[in-house]
A and B are shown apart, each in its own frame.
Chain A
Amino acid sequence: MKYLVPVLAGRLVRAVARLRGGGSAYPGRTVLALAPDFLTHVSSQFDQGVVFVLGSNGKSTTTMMLTETLRAHGLRVFTNPTGANLPQGIASAFLREVTPFGRVKHDIGVIEVDEAFAVELTRSLHPSTVLMLNVQVDQLYRFFETERVGTMMTDTAALATAAVVTNRDDQHLAPYEARPGQVVTRFGAAPDVVAAAPNGLQNANDFTREADGTRRAESEVVSLTGDRARIRVGDEEVDVRLPARGLHYAVDAAAALQTASVVLGRPVDPASVAEAFETMKPAYGRGERMSLGTDEAEFIMFKNAASLQLNLDALPQDVEQVMLAIDEGTPDISWIYDIDFSHLDHVDVLAGAKAWQLALRLEHEGIPVHVIEEDIAKAIKLMRALPSPGDRTKHFVTNYEQMMLARRILGHPDLEKTA
């Protein structure tokens, strides 16, 4: 009975927030205020434990891949929606699934967690497995020191009760060593696959360490063509269709499959994996397509240098029509001077308040910009008015805030829950 009032109160808050079109953190905040141990109560019911997914980039995509892979192997998986990775957001997500008495029917929780809150969340969610994806120079203004981000992740991993899965190719994360009772395994990408990517993996340098090429990855991307990847998991090879093009998605898939094998206690089944990936929809703004007149708009979202570089590198060769959009949602964009834009031979439209800074950057590179239009609505009209391209696709590369505006303009409501 202890949880009846908090759960009902949280749901009431949610119903009210929905009516007012408000944010989804409030229900979670309400339930946590009334029942501070709510997260522990729910998560302790998962027989197969809780998996944390941590990383500078790729948390949402990997969480989806891992969730769908486990479901394809018959598990009932609880997960939090993309971006709801702070304590209140996770509580809100639980609130949707529990009975009024605070019971859940799931076997396992796969939970995307913000690095800055990860250690704190171990105290309530007690993860059995922690997956660490990467440390990339992420929103510098937010964390100041990349090694601080790395330390947040490894400190969290140290609290996993059973297993840690880490990135063999990341200087900060690869050296992680098992604490008592833990098993550590690694994922990665084969050197020739990385070498074929124009700008590599984009993981941050660790200036305190020398690279160590001797570590083995239990799961590894062995080939990549467009959105098709082959991943070696243990001794088996698994073919998957990625939700969008790009080396980073292939590495995310290797991370998900390695973690799934660890959780299942046996190698994943290739046929089940292939099926799970085949039907996977791209996460919000990661190669998501929507119609734009007789053509399609493809949305690719970036949040920092690494994700912009990886996404640019994954655009088709000689991309015909492309808009870049960035606004005040991304505060310090100094890093655009470290981006290799040479994949683009022009940009059709630059949008958002920071369009001028991008124009300045591209002008240094001699890449022509056809139109600069700060207003995203007008910019989309300009893109729409362009003649139909050969690939029938108008590419939109945007930061999160511009994507949200663009989605709304194109008639796609806000599905993502941010907390």
Chain B
Amino acid sequence: MSADTLRLVHLYPEQLGVSGDRGNVSTLVARAGRAGLETEVVEYRVGDDVPTVADVVLLGHGPLSGVRAVSADAQRLLPALEGFAASGVPVVGVGGGMELLTKGVVTDEGETVPGIGFFDALVRRGAPRRTNYFQVTTSYGGDELTLFGFEDHAAHLELGDGVQAFGHVVHGGGNGTAGAEGVLRGASFGTQLKGPLLPLNPALSDRVLRAALTRRSISYHPGAAHAKLDEYAAQSQRVIRENLERAFKAM
């Protein structure tokens, strides 16, 4: 491992990995790689040693059973994640992964599946189920950026006092209040944007990479090697934009 290696930590790839969330990892690996950077991916599973180094921490989406299955183990991770956040390491949670990072998930039956409280937010299940294309704007890491993906959840996200949302809903449901989507904490964020999030949104991926790398004084410049990734993502976004109003039958 050279000094310039980008270190990614992927938490609970099985339980929180039902929405192709490995794609978020793959994209960071591919984009860093095409900019000439080496990467190392550490997959963390229940019972493993708590990671001590990371440049980006990623959590994917899982069903409530997945969140429940890792909830107890995840409590051990909080001090490490707090430390990462304090030094500017992005912690990125999608769907169930974001839910695990909140204070917890209150189910339809009134039970609470404990989260770890990394984000000052609470998830309430029992909202009307949403399955639709999702368009969100965010100012994460720079100017306003438009993001596209898929939204699939039945929850409201209640943010604590003074807590910022990750973005603003243009099309879709989001947190359920005031057009807010997800939760932001410094360089870290949680969102319901699936699709997966990072492959479909290269500009956001680059912002995550820059946040991760500037703190280590490593420069990152996407170039010609990224052209196909960017073109295919742009075309994918176009097709989503053309189909935003499409309704999908869910149960």
Q: A354 vs B242: C-alpha distance in the bound complex, in angstroms?
A: 12
> Which size bracket describes the interface of B in this complex?
35 or more
- Residue pair B239, A353 in contact (C-beta under 8 Å): yes
Q: Which residue of A lies closest to B17 (CB)?
A: A338
Q: Which residue of B lies closest to A352 (CB)?
A: B239
Residues from chain A with a CB closer than 8 A to the CB of B199 are: 337, 360-361, 364
Q: Which one of B20-28, B76-84, B178-186 is at the interface?
A: B20-28
- Distance (whole angstroms) from the CB of A205 to the closest CB of chain B: 6
A to B contact number (C-beta, < 8 Å): 110
- Residue pair B14, A142 in contact (C-beta under 8 Å): no
- Residue pair A137, B232 in contact (C-beta under 8 Å): no
Q: A176 vs B39: C-alpha distance in the bound complex, in angstroms?
A: 44
**Per-position contact with B for A29-70: 1 when CB-CB < 8 Å, else 0?**
000000000000000000000000000000000000000000
Chain B residues 208 to 240 lying within 8 A of chain A, measured CB to CB, are 228-229, 232-233, 235-236, 238-239
Tell me, yes or no, whether B118 is within 8 Å of chain A by CB.
Answer: no
Whether A144 touches B236, Cβ cut-off 8 Å, given contacts A331-B248, A337-B21, is no
Q: Which residue of B lies closest to A305 (CB)?
A: B20
Q: B19 is contacted by which of A208, A334, A360 (Cβ under 8 Å)?
A: A334
Residue tally, chain A, CB below 8 Å to B:
32
Tell me, yes or no, whether A332 is within 8 Å of chain B by CB.
Answer: yes
- Residue pair B251, A363 in contact (C-beta under 8 Å): no
Tell me, yes or no, whether B200 is within 8 Å of chain A by CB.
Answer: yes
Residues from chain B with a CB closer than 8 A to the CB of A140 are: 18-19, 152
Whether A363 touches B21, Cβ cut-off 8 Å, given contacts A145-B63, A205-B14, is no
Chain A residues 340 to 373 lying within 8 A of chain B, measured CB to CB, are 353-354, 356-357, 359-361, 363-364
Q: What 6 pairs across the A-B complex have the smallest Cβ distances? A: A337-B23, A337-B20, A334-B20, A207-B69, A360-B232, A356-B235
Give the interface of B toward A (CB within 8 A): 14-15, 17-23, 26-27, 30, 63-66, 68-69, 129, 131, 150, 152, 154, 194-196, 199-200, 228-229, 232-233, 235-236, 238-239, 243, 246, 248-251
15 A-B pairs, CB-CB below 8 angstroms? A141-B248, A144-B250, A144-B251, A331-B131, A332-B19, A332-B194, A334-B195, A334-B196, A336-B20, A338-B22, A354-B239, A356-B236, A359-B232, A359-B235, A363-B229
